[in-house]
Chains A and B, each alone.
Chain A
Amino acid sequence: MRRLVNIRPGRGGKVFLGAAPLALVAIGYVVASAARQAENPADKLLPPIEAMWSAWIRMSLEVDPVTGSIPLWADTVASLHRLILGLGISTGVTLAFGLVLGLLPVARATLGPLVAAIAVIPPIAVLPVLFIALGLGETAKVALIVIGITPFMVRDLASQVGAIPEEQMVKAQTLGASTWQIALRLALPQAMPKLLKGLRLSLGPAWVFLIAGEAIASDVGLGYRIFLVRRYLAMDVILPYVAWISLLAVLMGLLLSWISRKFFPWDHTRGAE
């Protein structure tokens, strides 16, 4: 009898094994939904697939007479705008601070404790502060994302840059590289794929902070919509929105890995790392 740790599924097996739980969840949902509908046709908790589909069509194709725009797209554009702005700012800050902290012992001694202190503050707890200081507009929501993910990303990148082998640093210096040249030609390119990895890991938290910000004060956005229709127990809208958000998150993750493979092939060759 082979040990369980040595049994690896083949290609087809993997697809089957991966699809089975998803199918089970879907079937379970359909059955449970049908059972509740049979008992009470007005049940809102587990809407049937058809109801979700018609809600989805309504949200994604019909213009809302109040706002004059199609809700799903208006929400998606607004949310992605905030998210990408937040991710972009975080990435820029991370690159600058991560490189400096990772490369320069002096900077590490000066800023390390500050970054560590900021990192332990729960971001949601400062959300009221942001709303008070920055108003209820876009700035506070973007700031929440930035504050939420940047400390982790900075510390992650700094430790990755700090982990560049001493041998490489010495070698670069024996080839005449200055601190600036080491930063630019050694640390920066080696940091980029790590930065993308950190960004990918931060996508989940970034969405959480985005939706939290939108839920509390907003008039458009995916998170705003979910929390708005919650008042009417509109699960037929909420569930497709959740699926849509998940799809967007997955696509962004895939895009980031694609960028990493495309532009930093050396980080993905056999034997790298």
Chain B
Amino acid sequence: MKDVLLSIRDVWVEYGDRIVLEKVNLEISRGSFVSIVGPSGAGKSTFLRLIIGQEAPSRGAIFLNGEPLQPEPGPDRGVVFQRYSVFPHLTALENVAFGLECSGSMFLGRLFGKRRKAALDEAAQMLARVGLSHSLNAYPSQLSGGMQQRLAIAQALVRKPRILLLDEPFGALDPGIRLDMHGLIDELWREHGLTILMVTHDIKEAFKLGDRVLAFDKRRHDPHAPHRFGSSAVYDFPLTEKNRRPPAELLALSGAEPSRAE
């Protein structure tokens, strides 16, 4: 019996008469690393937004840990976007401590004295873990793209979310930096027993990091009204250490980009 953390039941997303997702049914087990691929516009980000709680499905339901998902972002779900997920007005240390300060001080959102010191220590440890111990007092605009993503990851992990949602987190990084980030996210996944959902355009990355790969695409096409059919998870590959090669049919999936990393 698998330990199901997230279950998506018969979920549809429609904007007006445009159907983006149709009849998505998925169960995600605790501790898994799910990569999500698919052509541009297939609704991958929309799917992630549903789980973040940024929007609610037009039909269907999502359960987190057996309970209906709050249709609002919350500390049980951490996120890292491709860009803009750190706060430009806070230093690296303050960015990470932000989550601790919010939970520790309802009214001011700031801690003082001993509690502040404890929060900053914890933040500094988290930053050291992602390799940013030399940039504690730098502002995000002073960090490189890769360092900013490290910061965003540290910031997301400090509240110990049940589930970590990544939307093309390494999409804007150089191949070399990407490789470092792959190492980091893989280690963090194992260390913290995280459940990760990662959207990526890079099929190789999806197969390298994930222990399950979902491909979103339309099952049906109407050439005259393409917007009337939505996407759903058309492929669902569980991966073991052995079968880590992307199958040809997936590489051929319309719009899927060839891998850029490595």
A: which residues have CB within 8 A of B?
A: 165-168, 170-178, 180-181, 184-186, 189-190, 264-267, 269-272
* B152 and chain A: residue at smallest CB distance: A171
In whole angstroms, what is the CA distance A178 to B86 when docked? 17
Note all chain A residues with C-beta closer than 8 A to B31.
Answer: none
In whole angstroms, what is the CA distance A126 to B74 when docked? 48
Q: Are A185 and B110 within 8 A (Cβ)? A: yes
Note all chain A residues with C-beta closer than 8 A to B90.
Answer: 266
Q: Contacts A174-B74, A174-B156 given: A269-B109 contact, CB under 8 Å?
A: no
Whether, in the assembled complex, B73 has its beta carbon less than 8 Å from a beta carbon of chain A, the answer is yes
Q: Are B89 and A267 within 8 A (Cβ)? A: yes
Q: Are B79 and A181 within 8 A (Cβ)? A: no
Taking A266-B139, A267-B89 as known contacts, 18 extra A-B pairs with beta carbons closer than 8 A to each other, sorted by chain A number, are: A167-B81, A168-B86, A170-B54, A170-B73, A170-B79, A171-B155, A172-B87, A174-B79, A175-B75, A175-B102, A175-B158, A176-B75, A184-B109, A185-B109, A186-B87, A189-B89, A266-B90, A271-B141
Task: Name B74's contact: one of A168, A173, A185, A264 (CB within 8 Å).
Answer: A173
Q: Are A175 and B142 within 8 A (Cβ)? A: no
Q: Are A177 and B89 within 8 A (Cβ)? A: no
Note all chain A residues with C-beta closer than 8 A to B125.
Answer: none
Note all chain A residues with C-beta closer than 8 A to B141.
Answer: 266, 269-272
B: which residues have CB within 8 A of A?
A: 52, 54, 72-75, 77-79, 81, 83-90, 98-99, 101-103, 106-110, 139-142, 152, 155-156, 158-159, 161
Task: Name B102's contact: one of A168, A177, A265, A269 (CB within 8 Å).
Answer: A177
Rank and list the top 4 A-B pairs by shortest CB-CB distance, nearest first.
A175-B99, A173-B73, A181-B109, A165-B84
* A171 and chain B: residue at smallest CB distance: B85
Q: Contacts A167-B85, A269-B139, A272-B88 given: A174-B109 contact, CB under 8 Å?
A: no
Tell me the smallest distance from the CB of A142 to a CB of chain B, in Å. 32
* B107 and chain A: residue at smallest CB distance: A180
Q: Contacts A181-B109, A189-B89, A266-B141 given: A175-B159 contact, CB under 8 Å?
A: yes
Note all chain A residues with C-beta closer than 8 A to B161.
Answer: 174
Task: Name A174's contact: one of B75, B101, B106 (CB within 8 Å).
Answer: B75
Note all chain A residues with C-beta closer than 8 A to B159.
Answer: 174-176
Q: Are A176 and B74 within 8 A (Cβ)? A: yes
In whole angstroms, what is the CA distance A178 to B72 when docked? 11
Q: Contacts A170-B79, A269-B139 given: A176-B102 contact, CB under 8 Å?
A: yes
In whole angstroms, what is the CA distance A271 to B138 when docked? 13
Q: Contacts A176-B102, A266-B141, A269-B142 given: A171-B89 contact, CB under 8 Å?
A: no
Q: List 22 A-B contacts (CB under 8 A).
A: A168-B84, A168-B86, A170-B52, A170-B73, A170-B81, A171-B79, A173-B74, A174-B74, A174-B78, A174-B79, A175-B102, A175-B158, A177-B102, A177-B109, A180-B107, A181-B102, A185-B102, A185-B110, A190-B88, A265-B139, A267-B88, A271-B142
